[in-house]
């Protein structure tokens, strides 16, 4: 009899135990096909205001025009003029600049030798002289649409510092009126040399092509996350070149698509070549960069599992649920969260929500976060107590993330990296990040994509033209 009672008690206990557990039926959501959430690609604008100080140009000009500037040591070649001449720089060349014009103040010494015959039967007479003059050249600078800088130089002034003379022993005859037109004739050859040297010196095409190619090479941002910066430039812009006595200012800019890619280094199959310039009236020193960052659902699932898997939530004094597993999937504009439960509920429930961003609180969260309709119906029939408890709020709270601290840290790091950044002594980059915010967040089939809007300003100062 006791044995029968014991067996009966055990059966009733097992029955009651299982009766307290809820076994959920099929709760797989009915996915509703929606139009893709994103229809446009947001392009960034990177300004590159470049300043070349006038003293840097002066130093390179003086280096290029060291020693003899011009020499013609034949009376008859390239044409018969009965004159030999050598021109050299006596002091450093000085530059002045205004808008698209640059003036060269060139102090030179001139040695000239003259050949003269009074008649075919007369003896040939040769006389030479040395004198110093001060020559002014003015160049107009123009940037062509293929990034070439074109110089058009003209002589604009000539002043004798010492008077040219021919010495005949007893007397010395000033020959300024004879020498001046001959010197002016030679200046046209010097202006050609100035144009050629300056166009080679300020080779903007070569510089910008290097920048364009470097932009397309993926850069490792963070080795711990294997995060790569990928830039696809699409357009190059330039505003009219300007100059003053501080230097020459070149305002260039690029438009393009910028992404942060997690995982292996992105492969760039074909680097695009530097396009022709799109001329625009004005480019400032501000940049507006939209950085695309993508997190696939596998990575998001790993993070959620680290925080929530095996968590036990007490619903009330008699009931609790354990999260055995959690994962994400996307469909249309929604993210579905799959949660496998045990203890008071055995089965799977699905949550649904739309990723969103609150600009005031700086939080990424799920808007309209709730149970999927099938899960809600199943729970309503067999475990409505969980619908009124803290379970949903607990899960929802885990999916709120405030980006304030992250963005503040990024801003400090970026500002530090943009402060007096020296590139092999060739140029110095200075800049700052004014604002950092999330422009958009949306769902893709394999993950969540964020577009981060970074605004700031920068400038580049050229320290050397020897590269």
pLDDT class for 389, splitting at 50, 70, 90? low
Phi and psi torsions of 78, nearest 5°: -75, -15
Which has more confidence, 167 or 33? 167
List all residues 6 or more positions away from 102 whose beta carbon is below 8 Å from its beta carbon.
95, 96, 138, 139, 141, 243, 248
The mean pLDDT of 49-59, rounded to a whole number, is 88
Q: What is the pLDDT of residue 19?
A: 39
Q: Is the pLDDT of residue 297 over 90?
A: no
Q: What is the pLDDT of residue 2?
A: 42
pLDDT class for 74, splitting at 50, 70, 90? confident
pLDDT class for 48, splitting at 50, 70, 90? confident
Lowest mean pLDDT among 1-10, 47-56, 248-257, 291-300: 1-10
The mean pLDDT of 319-338, rounded to a whole number, is 89
**If phi over 0 gives left and psi between -120 and 50 gives alpha, with beta otherwise, what is residue 420?**
left
List all residues 6 or more positions away from 353 whose beta carbon is below 8 Å from its beta carbon.
334, 335, 337, 366, 367, 368, 369, 370, 396, 399
Q: Is the pLDDT of residue 254 over 90?
A: no
User: Residue 247 has which token pair?
Assistant: 């230097």
Q: What is the pLDDT of residue 9?
A: 35
Tokens 């364009």 locate to 212
**Rounded to an integer, what distance in angstroms lies between the CA atom of residue 33 and that of residue 293?**
25
Q: What is the pLDDT of residue 138?
A: 94
pTM given for the model: 0.67
Q: What is the pLDDT of residue 13?
A: 34
**Rounded to an integer, what distance in angstroms lies between the CA atom of residue 27 and that of residue 257?**
41
Q: Is the pLDDT of residue 255 over 70?
A: yes
Q: Give residue-wise pLDDT tens across range 147-171.
A: 888 999 999 989 989 888 877 666 7
pLDDT class for 69, splitting at 50, 70, 90? confident
User: Which domains does the chain possess?
Assistant: 54-204 (3.15.10)
| In the chain, % of residues over pLDDT 70 | 90
CA distances from 331 to 34, 116, 334, 335, 392 (A): 8, 96, 6, 6, 21
pLDDT class for 35, splitting at 50, 70, 90? low
Q: Which contacts of 265-269 are long-range, i.e. CB under 8 A and separated by 24 or more positions?
A: 265/218, 265/220, 265/228, 266/218, 266/228, 266/230, 268/216, 268/217, 268/218, 268/230
pLDDT class for 357, splitting at 50, 70, 90? very high
Q: Is the pLDDT of residue 344 over 90?
A: no
The mean pLDDT of 230-234, rounded to a whole number, is 87
Q: Is the pLDDT of residue 466 over 80?
A: no
Task: Tell me what the pLDDT averaged over the chain comes to.
Answer: 81
**Rounded to an integer, what distance in angstroms lies between the CA atom of residue 235 and that of residue 253?**
8
pLDDT class for 32, splitting at 50, 70, 90? low
Which has more confidence, 27 or 405? 405
Q: Are 381 and 30 in contact (CB under 8 A)?
A: no
Q: Give residue-wise pLDDT tens across range 171-180.
A: 777 888 877 8
How many CB atoms within 10 Å of residue 26?
8
| In the chain, % of residues over pLDDT 90 | 12
Q: Is the pLDDT of residue 30 over 80?
A: no
Which sign does the torsion angle of CA 454, 459, 464, 467 carry? positive
Q: What is the pLDDT of residue 40?
A: 63
Burial (CB < 10 A; 0-12, 13-18, 19+), residue 284, is exposed
Lowest mean pLDDT among 59-63, 110-114, 224-228: 224-228
How many CB atoms within 10 Å of residue 431?
21
Q: Is the pLDDT of residue 17 over 60?
A: no
CA distances from 420 to 247, 333, 463 (A): 19, 44, 12
Nearest to 301 by CA among 333, 340, 270: 340
The mean pLDDT of 259-279, rounded to a whole number, is 84
**Rounded to an integer, what distance in angstroms lies between the CA atom of residue 289 and that of residue 184?**
53
**Rounded to an integer, what distance in angstroms lies between the CA atom of residue 186 and that of residue 73?**
13
- H or E element, residue 256: strand 247-262
CA 154 to chain centre: 38
- H or E element, residue 373: helix 373-382
Q: Are 369 and 396 in contact (CB under 8 A)?
A: yes
Highest mean pLDDT among 282-291, 379-388, 434-443: 434-443
**Rounded to an integer, what distance in angstroms lies between the CA atom of residue 93 and that of residue 194?**
12
Residue ranges with strand state E in 27-93: 44-53, 68-72, 83-89
Burial (CB < 10 A; 0-12, 13-18, 19+), residue 270, is exposed
pLDDT class for 15, splitting at 50, 70, 90? very low
């Amino acid at each position: 009899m006791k044995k029968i009672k014991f067996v009966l008690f055990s059966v009733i206990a097992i029955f009651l135990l299982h009766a307290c557990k809820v076994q959920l039926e099929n709760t797989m959501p009915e996915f509703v096909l929606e139009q893709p959430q994103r229809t446009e690609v947001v392009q960034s604008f990177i300004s590159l205001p470049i300043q070349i100080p006038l003293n840097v140009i002066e130093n390179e000009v003086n280096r290029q025009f060291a020693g003899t500037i011009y020499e013609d040591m034949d009376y008859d070649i390239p044409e018969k003029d009965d004159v030999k001449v050598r021109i050299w720089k006596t002091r450093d060349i000085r530059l002045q600049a205004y808008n698209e014009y640059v003036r060269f103040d060139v102090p030179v010494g001139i040695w000239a030798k003259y050949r003269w015959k009074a008649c075919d039967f007369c003896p040939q007479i040769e006389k030479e002289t040395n004198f110093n003059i001060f020559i002014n050249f003015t160049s107009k600078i123009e940037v062509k649409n293929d990034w070439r800088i074109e110089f058009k130089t003209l002589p604009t002034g000539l002043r004798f510092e010492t008077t040219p003379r021919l010495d005949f022993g007893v007397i010395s005859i000033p020959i300024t009126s004879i020498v001046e037109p001959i010197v002016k004739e030679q200046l046209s050859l010097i202006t050609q040399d100035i144009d050629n040297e300056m166009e080679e010196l300020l080779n903007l095409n070569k510089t910008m092509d290097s920048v364009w190619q470097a932009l397309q090479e993926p850069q490792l941002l963070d080795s711990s996350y294997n995060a790569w910066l990928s830039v696809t430039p699409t357009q190059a812009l330039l505003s009219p070149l300007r100059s003053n006595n501080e230097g020459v200012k070149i305002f260039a800019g690029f438009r393009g698509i910028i992404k942060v890619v997690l995982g292996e280094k992105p492969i760039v199959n074909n680097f695009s070549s530097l396009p022709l310039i799109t001329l625009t009236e004005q480019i400032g020193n501000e940049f507006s960069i939209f950085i695309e960052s993508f997190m696939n659902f596998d990575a998001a699932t790993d993070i959620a599992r680290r925080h929530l898997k095996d968590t036990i939530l007490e619903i009330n004094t008699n009931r609790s649920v354990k999260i055995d597993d959690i994962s994400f999937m996307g469909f249309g504009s929604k993210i579905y969260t799959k949660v496998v439960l045990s203890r008071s509920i055995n089965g799977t429930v699905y949550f649904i929500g739309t990723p969103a961003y609150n600009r005031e609180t700086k939080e990424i969260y799920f808007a309209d976060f709730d149970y999927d309709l099938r899960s809600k119906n199943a729970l309503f029939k067999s475990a409505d107590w969980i619908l009124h408890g803290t379970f949903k709020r607990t899960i929802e709270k885990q999916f709120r993330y405030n980006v304030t601290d992250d963005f503040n840290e990024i801003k400090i790091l970026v500002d530090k990296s943009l402060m007096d950044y020296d590139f092999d002594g060739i140029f110095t980059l200075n800049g700052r990040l004014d604002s950092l915010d999330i422009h958009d967040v949306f769902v893709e089939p394999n993950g969540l994509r964020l577009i981060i809007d970074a605004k700031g300003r920068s400038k580049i100062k050229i320290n050397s033209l020897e590269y």
